[in-house]
Structure 1
Amino acid sequence: MFWWRRVWGPLFAVAALVLLDSSKALAFAEPGVPVPPGELITDTGEGQLTDADKDLVVKVRLAGLWEIPAGEMAQQKSKNPKIQEIGKNIAAQHVALDKLDRAAAKKLGIKLPNQPNKDQQGWLGEMREAEGEEFDQIYIDRLRAAHGKIFPAIATIRASTRNDTVRKLAQQANQFVATHMTLLESSDIVDFAALPTAPAPSAATSASAAAPAGGTALNSVAENQTLGTNKNVILGVLGAAVAAGAFLTWRTMSSRRRPRRYRY
């Protein structure tokens, strides 16, 4: 009748282990590399909205307008299975990013374009006219160069915007763009020599980077405290679950050993 009491303890222990393992999976994309907890960013549309903020929302939309058809062409025109898969993944991910971008634009009252710009239309034209390996090279190089340009722009807005909806979109876009650059580079045909080089740091930038070691130290302390707090919370939950399981198991076993009293 009370058979289910016998499994309370093991169930609590298993649940605790699953919780700990899931927390690790959510916290890290790969060993030692944390995933930004985007769910901690509010999305209310509150905060000053600058022209630079609006420009980013428009650029994210424009990126999808040409990279989605470019990815579809990669699946149809390329003879290389790796390029086909890269095109498929990037196109699908831009569909998801475009949905996020349009939702943000609607919330903020930003008007979005419905066609690629002149440069993007030219790149799509190049791809339509190319075949075989020539197509592959154009597809990979055009997309890698475009992602390299928007990547620092996203970082600037993520670091400076006062608007929480733009901040969230910038963080999401940053993760998409980093993923796309990695996918494109996995083709092994990116012409890195053709990419623009970063400008040399100015004297003021070099001096400020070298001088305030305390700022770096404070950032490290804050990061370690955050990671330490998260770890302590997880371990606390795990410990409580294991203790509860052990207690319930002990109660169940004790009740089974206790002699029954009969009344006459």
Structure 2
Amino acid sequence: MKSALFLSAAVAAALSLAACSKATTDNARADAAAAVNTAQDAAAGPVGQMSAQTIGSHDTPSFVANAAMSDMYEVEAGKMAQARGKAADVKAFGKMMADGHTATTAEMKPLAAAAGQTPPAALDERRQGLLDNLKAASDADFDRVYVDQQVAAHQEALTLLTGYAANGDNAGLKGFAAKTAPAVQMHLDKANGMKTAMK
């Protein structure tokens, strides 16, 4: 009887240790994945900024492609923020992004067509990676990840729009860029304000 009791206690202890070890391993994997995603997001910002400053600032096909993908990313990320955001201002910002960037997509389409351009139907790898990282964010980290991405995305979009408004070669799209830039600046200011409040 004593040996059976001892054996049961030993088995229970071993199972408990195994479960604890698995939980520790799972937590370590989740932490490592989150660190990789944060590094990817941090690298995506400067890459986009460089692209916006160079070719996107004057090349019409590049401007149309990047402006369209920026809108697609913002709409999808905004929907996620409405569904998963914890803070009321994050949810409200997500709605503003989804609505605002749906409207700019509709406004740009005929201008792009008049310029002989067809906006892409899907995101590039960099922006899809941002969405994937946002989806993978833990509930506790979601608001911070979203806001960090929003600051970088709006800095890039503002650079793209102001650059094309100044240097673009299509009058209709230049007007669109000039008209849209102040709204993007307002979005950037709001995202920076949320980021500061989170610190």
Q: Same fold (TM over 0.5)?
A: yes
TM-score norm. by structure 2 comes to: 0.66
Answering whether residue 186 of structure 2 is matched by residue 179 of structure 1, we say yes
Question: Do the aligned residues in 2 keep the contact of 1:64 with 1:94 (CA within 8 Å)?
Answer: yes
Answering whether residue 167 of structure 2 is matched by residue 160 of structure 1, we say yes
Task: Name which of structure 1's ranges 68-77 and 169-178 shifts more when overlaid on structure 2.
Answer: 169-178
Question: Do the aligned residues in 2 keep the contact of 1:60 with 1:173 (CA within 8 Å)?
Answer: no
Amino acid at match of 2:131: L
Tell me which protein shows more helix as a share of its residues. 2
Give secondary structure in 1 for the equivalent of 2:194.
Answer: coil
In structure 1, list runs of 5 or more residues that go unmatched: 1-49, 193-264
Answering whether residue 69 of structure 2 is matched by residue 58 of structure 1, we say no
CA shift digits 1:206-252 (9 cap, x unpaired) = xxxxxxxxxxxxxxxxxxxxxxxxxxxxxxxxxxxxxxxxxxxxxxx
User: Shift of residue 154 of structure 1?
Assistant: 1.9
Matches within 5 A, 1:112-123: 112-123=119-130
Aligned to 1:138: 145
Matches within 5 A, 1:244-263: none
Aligned to 1:79: 86
User: Shift of residue 187 of structure 1?
Assistant: 1.3
User: Shift of residue 190 of structure 1?
Assistant: 7.7
CA shift digits 1:135-173 (9 cap, x unpaired) = 111111112112212322322221123421021111123
Aligned to 1:104: 111
CA–CA distance in structure 2, aligned partners of residues 123 and 179 of structure 1: 22
Question: Do the aligned residues in 2 keep the contact of 1:141 with 1:190 (CA within 8 Å)?
Answer: no
CA–CA distance in structure 2, aligned partners of residues 157 and 51 of structure 1: 5
Greater Cα radius of gyration, structure 1 or 2 = 1
> Which of these residues, 74, 90, 102, is aligned with residue 97 of structure 2?
90
**Count of matched residue pairs:** 143
Amino acid at match of 1:145: A
Amino acid at match of 1:137: R
Higher relative contact order (CA 8 A, sep 6+): 1
Question: Do the aligned residues in 2 keep the contact of 1:78 with 1:84 (CA within 8 Å)?
Answer: yes
Inter-CA distance 152–51: structure 2 relative to 1 (3 Å threshold): closer
Inter-CA distance 103–73: structure 2 relative to 1 (3 Å threshold): same
CA–CA distance in structure 2, aligned partners of residues 152 and 191 of structure 1: 25
CA–CA distance in structure 2, aligned partners of residues 100 and 56 of structure 1: 15
CA–CA distance in structure 2, aligned partners of residues 130 and 161 of structure 1: 37
Question: Do the aligned residues in 1 keep the contact of 2:77 with 2:131 (CA within 8 Å)?
Answer: yes
Question: Do the aligned residues in 1 keep the contact of 2:148 with 2:195 (CA within 8 Å)?
Answer: no
User: Shift of residue 65 of structure 1?
Assistant: 1.1
Question: Do the aligned residues in 2 keep the contact of 1:141 with 1:191 (CA within 8 Å)?
Answer: no
